[in-house]
Amino acid sequence: MHALTTPTMIEPDLLMLAYRSGIFPMSDSRDDPEIFWIEPRLRAILPLDGFHLSHSLARTLRRGRFSVTCNTAFSEVMDACAAPRQVREDSDDEGGSWISHRIQASYEHLHALGHAHSVEVWQDDREGRRELVGGLYGVGFDRVFCGESMFSRRTDSSKVALAWLVAALRRAGATLLDCQFMTPHLASLGAVEMPQKRYLTLLREAQLTVGASTGAGLGKAGAAAEGASEGAALGLPAAFAGLFAELPEGADSSSPGKVIAQLLTQTS
């Protein structure tokens, strides 16, 4: 019997340098120890003032079917994103994952250092137990959030996660939400596609000036990584927790979903 080994992690300095340069890693399969670096010819972003809040999604938010948290189940979100997917019989997609064990270990380390974040969507089951039914994760720095992957086990659960992320990013002072590759799902939510050269311009601009509102969200862990902590960590957790500190007039603070719907409706 072979002893279990811990995957060799990608150094956090190297990971953060890649993201700051518009590059990110992928693998060919869950068990692949190798990684390759991706710089797409076309890049998808979701303008933070252009999120498309459909009537059905707004209704889901207002009804409060789900509860949403930030950074409470990072590893579980990555596990769900890496799980095999159902594919059509006529598809060439084998349903595998580009999130290898090595990549997951690397992002879990980055999360511990305060540079990777997750948004979790929960729903109570019939016995009243809280179940993770949707979520997303990504890397944050300066005024940038690079979304890596999302999953959904209930209708609209990943959309709810993204809606909360957009609201929190606005409050954190972010200016760029990177979605990497365009999909019909992202397009329906307002994502747009652009040449990589244009994306790199936006990426540089988002790193040039980091205001006090972003720096205020730094935790102790965010300063722990030498090199990776150059610049500033994105204050997403603090912004997420403080979403209701400055509610619009007349907002119902007893229903977080209603608050998020109202915040997003103002610019959708």
Task: For residue 241, tell me if it sits in a domain.
Answer: yes
pLDDT reading at 252 higher than 60: no
Domain presence at residue 69: yes
CATH number at residue 167: 3.40.630.70
Residue linked to tokens 């205001």:
211
Q: Is residue 7 part of a domain?
A: no
3-state secondary structure 147-215: EEEEEECCCCHHHHHHHHHHHHHHHHCCCEEEEECCCHHHHHCCCEEEEHHHHHHHHHHHHHCCCHHHH
pLDDT reading at 199 higher than 60 = yes
Per the structure, the count of domains in the chain is 1
Residue 61 belongs to some domain of the structure: yes
Is the predicted pLDDT of residue 159 greater than 80, yes or no?
Answer: yes
Predicted local confidence at residue 228, as pLDDT? 46
Q: Report the pLDDT averaged over residues 48-76.
A: 94
pLDDT at position 267 is: 60
Average pLDDT score over residue span 238-264: 73
Asked if the structure places residue 36 within a domain, the reply is yes
Residue 176 lies in a domain: yes
- pLDDT tens for 164-190 read 999 999 999 999 999 999 999 999 999
Domain-located, residue 6: no
Average pLDDT over residues 258-267: 80
What is the domain extent for residue 90? Answer: 12-265
User: What are the tens digits of pLDDT across the range 21-35?
Assistant: 999 999 999 999 999
Is position 5 within any domain? no
